[in-house]
């Protein structure tokens, strides 16, 4: 009796193991669990592109935003650099004029 019960239990375990292996590695398992092979997802051979649900999911949109921010930052820096350069040149001109005026006063002192 125990021999027969052991054989039935062993048969049930083998059938259960076969069903688990079929479920894990059989047809359709890649759709259920994803493919381990690169470039394959589901039944199609092409890699699936992730669905874009909003602008923050779109890599190109985010890249364009970053690029525009960089350009704006560069433009502001360039404008600031030009403003400082113009200010420096104006101060130098004023300093030259002031020295020229002082030189003229020393040459022709007023009495």
pLDDT tens-digit readout, 94-110: 999 999 988 887 777 66
Higher pLDDT, 49 or 12: 12
Q: What is the mean pLDDT of residues 35-64?
A: 68
Which of 25-29, 73-77, 84-88, 100-104 is the least confident region? 25-29
**Which residues on neighbouring strands pair with residue 109, listed in sequence order?**
none
18 φ, ψ to 5°? -65, -40
Q: What is the mean pLDDT of residues 76-97?
A: 96
Please state, in angstroms and rounded to a whole number, the distance separating the CA atoms of residues 91 and 99: 12
Question: What confidence score (pLDDT) does residue 31 get?
Answer: 76
Please state, in angstroms and rounded to a whole number, the distance separating the CA atoms of residues 111 and 104: 14
Which alpha helices (DSSP H) does the chain contain, by range? 2-25, 29-33, 59-107
37: left (phi over 0), alpha (psi -120 to 50) or beta: beta
Q: Name the residue ranges covered by the structural domains of the chain.
A: 57-111
Structure tokens at 26: 């059989």
Question: What confidence score (pLDDT) does residue 82 get?
Answer: 97
Q: What is the mean pLDDT of residues 74-91?
A: 97
């Amino acid at each position: 009796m125990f021999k027969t019960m052991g054989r039935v239990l062993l048969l049930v375990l083998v059938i259960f193991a076969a069903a688990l292996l079929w479920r894990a590695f059989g047809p359709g398992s890649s759709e259920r669990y994803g493919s381990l092979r690169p470039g394959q997802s589901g039944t199609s051979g092409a890699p699936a592109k992730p669905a874009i649900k909003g602008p923050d999911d779109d890599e190109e949109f985010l890249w364009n935003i970053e690029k525009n921010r960089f350009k704006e930052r560069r433009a502001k820096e360039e404008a600031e650099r030009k403003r400082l350069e113009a200010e420096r040149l104006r101060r130098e001109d004023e300093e030259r004029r002031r020295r020229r005026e002082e030189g003229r006063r020393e040459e022709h002192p007023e009495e």
